[in-house]
Structure 1
Amino acid sequence: MTITAASPALRTPPAAPAEAAAFFASRLAFQADVADVQASVASGRPGFVLVDSRGQEAWDQGHVPGAVHLPTAEIPERAAELLDPAVPVITYCWGPGCDGATRAALALAQLGYRVKEMIGGIEYWTREGFPVETATAGVRARPADPLVAPTGGDGCGC
């Protein structure tokens, strides 16, 4: 297949393979998807601390079970009391339309933590049918949204 200028998706041509490999490897060093985070958490030995960087009202509305609540604005003052610098951190916020997890990851990296961002945030965690915890309802999961997650089997196969 040849690349044509008539393709809107290819107005800017793809990068050379070596450049593309470096870019995609870099993304994986900075981001983790919700399915991988959930599988790690479910194993009982995730190897990281999951940080919910949203405010109190959002946390109360529902959060990933086992997550540490550390709003972005409180990171400079509270990170040292809640997080071990030797343990990697994965941050999350609302979803793909929110930079909260990115800002939290930046604040933690500036303090010397090894950190990744959970892409998709609590939105895709919930949409994929993973459990959410609240103080009033406990831990509950809703069915996966069939438009964003597989409804049968053990994952998307990717």
Structure 2
Amino acid sequence: MTNALRFPASDPTAAAIFFAAELSLEADPDDVHRDMLDGNTSGYVLVETRSPEAFAKARIPGAINLPYRDLPEQLDLDPELVYICYCESFQCNAATKGALALAQRGYKVKRLAGGITAWQEAGYPVESDQLIGAGVSKVACHC
């Protein structure tokens, strides 16, 4: 028996349920970037969940900053929108913590796969409060 098949594959129905649930909780940077290029980001808002300092250094264009550590109980957000949270990378869980906090407050959420690191590695632009813009080379966590 191969290592890859040591545990048998799920029934197709179970697999479809699992993968649909996974996709309902995560957004792909490529899909978000395509939406931006098409000028169609209606229905969702990108949420940077790291610190204001990290947000100032590099952020995905159009994102808002809601640091997960400082989320108030009451937020003035549109309950009809989906909030796509991101942080530094897969090694950081600030997006998960931010998404959890927003979901606990009744908002619909997803997490951006790979965070801003995956975004930049794909060659997509970032904004910055500094004059380095797309020249930002490495994004640090700063959660």
1:108 maps to 2:135: no
The answer to whether the Cα contact below 8 Å between 2:48 and 2:87 also exists between their aligned partners in 1 is yes
**Paired position in structure 1 for 2:34:** 39
Identity of aligned residues (%): 42
**Paired position in structure 2 for 1:120:** 114
The answer to whether the Cα contact below 8 Å between 1:76 and 1:107 also exists between their aligned partners in 2 is no
Residue 40 of structure 1 and its aligned partner are, at CA, apart by 1.7
1:63 maps to 2:59: yes
2:125 to 119, 131, 143: 131
Residue 73 of structure 1 and its aligned partner are, at CA, apart by 1.3
Residue 141 of structure 1 and its aligned partner are, at CA, apart by 6.5
> Any unmatched runs of 5+ in structure 1?
143-158
- Find the residue that maps to 1:12 and give its secondary structure: coil
Measure, in 2, the Cα distance between the counterparts of 1:29 and 1:121: 17
Measure, in 2, the Cα distance between the counterparts of 1:14 and 1:96: 26
Deviation string 1:15-64 (CA, Å, 9 cap, x unpaired) is: 11111010001111111110011112333331211000011222122110
**Paired position in structure 1 for 2:9:** 14
Residue 138 of structure 1 and its aligned partner are, at CA, apart by 5.7
> Any unmatched runs of 5+ in structure 2?
137-143
Q: For the pair shown, which has the larger CA radius of gyration, 1 or 2? A: 1
- What number of residue pairs does the alignment pair up? 135
Measure, in 2, the Cα distance between the counterparts of 1:11 and 1:84: 47
* Paired AA for residue 132 in structure 1: V
Residue 10 of structure 1 and its aligned partner are, at CA, apart by 2.0
* Paired AA for residue 48 in structure 1: Y
Measure, in 1, the Cα distance between the counterparts of 2:135 and 2:109: 27
Please, what is the CA RMSD of the aligned residues? 1.7
If the length of structure 2 is used for normalisation, what is the TM-score?
0.86
**Paired position in structure 1 for 2:140:** none
2:69 to 67, 73, 76: 73
- Find the residue that maps to 2:97 and give its secondary structure: helix
If the length of structure 1 is used for normalisation, what is the TM-score?
0.78
1:29 to 18, 24, 27: 24
1:52 maps to 2:48: yes
- Find the residue that maps to 1:45 and give its secondary structure: coil
